[in-house]
Amino acid sequence: MTRLFNDPADFADEMTEGFADAAARWVQRVPGGVVRATAADEPKVAVVVGGGSGHYPAFGGLVGPGLAHGAVMGNLFASPSAHQAHSVAKVADQGRGVLFSFGNYAGDVLHFGQAQERLRAEGHDVRTVLVTDDIWSAPADQQEKRRGIAGDLVVFKIAGAAAEQGLDLDDVERLARHANARTRSFGVAFGGCTLPGADAPLFTVPEGRMAVGLGIHGEPGIDEVDIPTAAGLAEMFVSKLLEELPEGVSVSGSRVVPILNGLGSVKSEELFVVYRTVHRLLGEAGVTVVEPEVGELCTSFDMAGCSLTLLWLDDELEPLWGAPADSPGYKKGAVAPQRRVEVQVDEAADVLPIGPASAPSQALGTAIAGALADVAEALDEAADELGRMDSIAGDGDHGIGMQRGSHAARDAGRLASEGGAGAETVLVHAAEAWSDRAGGTSGAIWAEILTTVGAALGDDSTPDAGVVARAVREASDAVQAFGKAKVGDKTMVDALVPFAETLAAEVDGGAPLATAWQRATDAAEAAAQATADLVATLGRARSHGDKSLGTPDPGAVSFALVCRTVHRALAGATATK
Amino acid sequence: MTRLFNDPADFADEMTEGFADAAARWVQRVPGGVVRATAADEPKVAVVVGGGSGHYPAFGGLVGPGLAHGAVMGNLFASPSAHQAHSVAKVADQGRGVLFSFGNYAGDVLHFGQAQERLRAEGHDVRTVLVTDDIWSAPADQQEKRRGIAGDLVVFKIAGAAAEQGLDLDDVERLARHANARTRSFGVAFGGCTLPGADAPLFTVPEGRMAVGLGIHGEPGIDEVDIPTAAGLAEMFVSKLLEELPEGVSVSGSRVVPILNGLGSVKSEELFVVYRTVHRLLGEAGVTVVEPEVGELCTSFDMAGCSLTLLWLDDELEPLWGAPADSPGYKKGAVAPQRRVEVQVDEAADVLPIGPASAPSQALGTAIAGALADVAEALDEAADELGRMDSIAGDGDHGIGMQRGSHAARDAGRLASEGGAGAETVLVHAAEAWSDRAGGTSGAIWAEILTTVGAALGDDSTPDAGVVARAVREASDAVQAFGKAKVGDKTMVDALVPFAETLAAEVDGGAPLATAWQRATDAAEAAAQATADLVATLGRARSHGDKSLGTPDPGAVSFALVCRTVHRALAGATATK
């Protein structure tokens, strides 16, 4: 468990600060993460990696010559925001373009995707290569759905080495993609980590048992077996990975990099005992082992678990794997000293402006800021229950994520309103803050909702019920497009769509806004209840081992809660009028 | 806990094998540990480090250019044997001498000391610098009694860098000693590791509490407090270390290397949060921080704990700390590639010979081999209880150490006897095997006893009771000299001395050997009982927090057990005559 922290809410920030102090030879802080503290003589393609925090040396520890140029560092186990990714990439770009690379998780894909769009609009050449090495997270014919785990290091290393050699963005992207296509990982776990301040581990595995294929945030695995011997685990790892060969690879005669990665509290000595058999089995299969790694390269706090990654080399990849690298958390060979650089960050350029607004829109902005405060309060009360529900099917961070996001939105909304902002500006400031602090998929989606509604309300109009209903409908459409989810997928969309449809129908039928909102909220709550029931069933079924029921997220539940809270604010406003 | 192993008895060997496979770019195996797989163009002073296994990257992970030339790798938490240290140093010596450096633990001091004597007798120039950085393990005016913890890295790094620069043995020794004198550490723990196959952790700390000053093998600390915040722990570390300055150092204006070391399951993120405050506090004290390290540099499996080390730099030490190094577990800067070398080890030269023996001595050798088998069997039964007793005051390995040692002695004794060895040769072979496999202090002491008794018995005489009594008396004297312990120190000496004295008195009084041995055993058992009683009292007192009762080891108990077992063999031999 995590024992050393100050205020758990400050953990990720303080960790990044301490890391930047300790690793000042390699990195310097910029808003959103870190970039290199040194530069080569010639400009290079910038490899920018990232993801949630809690996986050290991924991601900040992999910044330095021969590896990444920058790392976007999100909150604990939560993807960074688009704003963070944009900020780090903008500083890192040396004029030769940016390669984003990160593990394939919905929140990261959303946020880095938004950042990429914004950077491209600003004239940066930006590409993205997702890491998808975890063979248990989706079948072989759906590799694009697979998660990224310790294969991160491989793809970053190959991309970083290619960039260091001065290759252009096309080649760096191609080689990173090629490395990912030739990288496969397989992980197991004996127990989960306990996040700072949490009172229970993210997941547990029964004593003496081992979860097979479990994700690095505790995402459910595919099987549970008795803990094998070290040799038995090595055999399981190697036999499965030798069955899942990349296209065009045959085992015998191949050259392979094995990476035996510890997740946190499986220690070096145990890993070496396992590696002994991995090494022997690869040799017996006719494979030549090249520069293996055994250690902690992509962790999950003190999670008890480990994974084996195989990188199937070819003539292009082998020299890139062998090239020198010098970062706080991964070093190889001899990197010639480079000159130090001091990055100048124009923080003022990053502050959202407050434009002119009409008096009625300012009044509406004040009301919205008040409603945001109510939402934050309601989510404080619900956070534990939301977290508990999320931990059954997901990574357990939904409660804390909604809490962080809504607090930030409340503060930003209040500041904007006090600064004279209209409705749109209050919502846009709140949206940016929510996304920044919450990270994760839900942070991105709530930012999308607030921004879309804000754009419909504007800063100088006095919107009527019809405008509000249309704004909500647009937000519903945007979220479906953006999150690629539809009704029935057991996400927030299950509640958002009936809410938007009921609201529009009621308003069209002549109901006042507060009444229409109440009925729409009833519809959202019905969907939320269905999700809650499914989660409860799933909780019971999981304890009996049935994993066929899918992975509902409690987004519908928190969405309905927000609707109900806003309804109270609306009803109160109507009553006092 | 340690979950991944095959046969726990093979863990250390298999770990070393897997490590050598994974780290073949840096190291190659030799009997007793590893040496570098590369060599510089010119011969250098060889820095040979070592200790028990379970502390990765200490000790094997610190072998490579700019660091150590060889590491002697003992069993889990048990010092290597003199034979191992001799073997590694002999291969590592490039003709410019050897510097032994290791943490100040009784077993390591004994074994490396014996190896040093043997190497010097063979013409090698060998020096030893003990690491004594742990400020809680003895008062400031008894620094020579302090244990070595994460300060190991500092002393090895400075010595390794000095050797790499081509300095001679006098200078390398002086600089290592100087580095040790300017290095101070302070550690805390939240819980102990569970060794492979053990069913309980080496020690526990109550939930929410923190042991202050606890050793890396679970040696008792000096205090227990509530777990502070990360900032609170940083303040505790820094304030205490700034009180304990090396001679001639003043805080303000100094340049210091802080090393925040994780013991196993306190992870990087937590360490960075703690480091953030360490860094700030050092800055506020007027200290300039130079190239800090935050990570796992001297571990204890997955023990939950961490330590802060400060190295107070001067003009000599700073460039040595900053010099490049390239080892499996610690890398710094750019080390130019070196040529690979293949060490040729003459294993045959290392096998003990069996010389000619008289028929009566051969018969006595067979009887001794039989008694050794009885001893191994008796220790099998007693191992758990001995381990339990040792865990109250020590590191809990006495049972398993005696078991490993006696098994090896039994096998070596039988082989020698079957090969026609006389009494002395059987005992010498058994002694070497015991020391090799058991490691630790008790391994060294039992080897000393068997060797001393063997020398008195010879290979061609038919010793009478007087010879045996004198042999035991010599062994008793040798052990007291060698282990620097006297009666009343609550070690094996408490039982050995009355045993030797009673045996001599009874034999002088005309008693037959079996009778004299029985009375001597009675005396040893009385002493053993006193130790057992003290351990029981201590167990009860510890649970009430009284740590003033000292640290008895169960060596007296196992000694009495061996005497009783040998008595049965003697009585049986007498009865069947």
Active site residue B567: no
Reported as a single tens digit per residue, the pLDDT across A349-397 is 667 778 889 999 999 999 999 999 999 999 999 988 888 888 777 777 7
Reported as a single tens digit per residue, the pLDDT across B69-115 is 999 999 888 889 888 999 999 999 999 999 999 999 988 998 899 89
What is the band of A34 on the pLDDT scale with cuts at 50, 70, 90?
very high
Q: Does domain B8-324 have CATH number 3.40.50.300?
A: no
Give the span between the Cα atoms of A436 and A404, in whole angstroms.
9
Which residues does chain A have within 8 Å of residue B329's beta carbon, measured at their own beta carbons? 268
Selecting among B83, B86, B178, B217, the annotated active-site residue is B217
Cis geometry, peptide bond prior to residue B59 (ω within 30 degrees of 0): yes
The beta-carbon neighbor of B5 closest among A56, A230, A326 is A230
What is residue B254's DSSP assignment? -
Minimal CA separation from A513 to chain B, in Å:
48
**ipTM of the prediction greater than 0.90, yes or no:** no
Give the span between the Cα atoms of A162 and A257, in whole angstroms.
18
pLDDT at B577: 45
- A384's CB contacts (< 8 A; 6+ apart) are A399
Q: Is B270 within 8 Å of A5 when comparing Cβ atoms?
A: yes
Tell me which of 3.40.50.720, 3.50.50.60, 1.10.8.50, 3.40.50.10440 is the CATH number of domain A8-323: 3.40.50.10440
Give the span between the Cα atoms of B194 and B300, in whole angstroms.
10
- B22's CB contacts (< 8 A; 6+ apart) are A260, A272, A275, A279, A292, A293, A294, B328
A62 interface with B at CB cutoff 8 Å: no
Helix, strand or coil for residue B77?
coil
- C-alpha count within 13 angstroms, C-beta hemisphere, residue B279: 21
A71 near A125, Cβ under 8 Å? no
Whether the pLDDT of residue A61 is over 90: the answer is yes
pLDDT at B549: 62
pLDDT at A363: 92
The beta-carbon neighbor of B272 closest among A15, A267, A279 is A15
Minimal CA separation from A274 to chain B, in Å:
7
Domain regions of chain B by residue span:
8-324, 351-576
Residue A457's nearest CA partner among A449, A466, A467, A448 is: A467
Mean pLDDT confidence for A179-208: 90
Residue B194 CA: distances (Å) to CA of B11, B219, B220: 13, 14, 16
SS3 content of chain A, % helix, strand, coil (to 5): 50, 15, 35
Residue B350's nearest CA partner among B127, B9, B122, B13 is: B122
| Burial bucket for residue A10 (CB in 10 Å: 0-12, 13-18, 19+) | middle
Whether the pLDDT of residue A554 is over 80: the answer is yes
Minimal CA separation from B371 to chain A, in Å:
35
Both tokens assigned to B95 = 């003709």
Cβ of B243: how many Cβ atoms within 10 Å?
11
pLDDT at A399: 85
Both tokens assigned to A44 = 């290079």
Each of the 577 residues of chain B gets a pLDDT tens digit; together they read 888 999 888 899 999 999 999 999 999 999 999 999 999 999 999 999 999 999 999 999 999 999 999 999 998 888 898 889 999 999 999 999 999 999 999 889 988 998 999 999 999 999 999 999 999 999 999 999 999 999 999 999 999 999 999 999 999 999 999 999 999 999 999 998 888 888 788 888 999 999 999 888 877 778 899 999 999 999 999 999 999 999 999 999 999 999 999 999 999 999 999 999 999 999 999 999 999 999 999 999 999 999 999 999 999 999 999 999 999 999 999 888 889 988 877 766 667 778 889 999 999 999 999 999 999 999 999 988 888 888 777 777 788 889 989 999 999 999 999 999 999 999 999 998 898 888 677 888 898 899 889 988 999 888 889 999 999 999 998 888 776 778 888 889 999 999 999 999 999 999 999 999 999 999 999 999 998 888 888 877 765 555 566 677 889 999 999 999 999 888 877 654 4
Give the span between the Cα atoms of B286 and A495, in whole angstroms.
58
Report which secondary-structure segment, H or E, holds B52. Answer: strand B46-53
The CATH homologous superfamily of the domain defined by B351-576? DhaL domain (1.25.40.340)
B78 interface with A at CB cutoff 8 Å: no
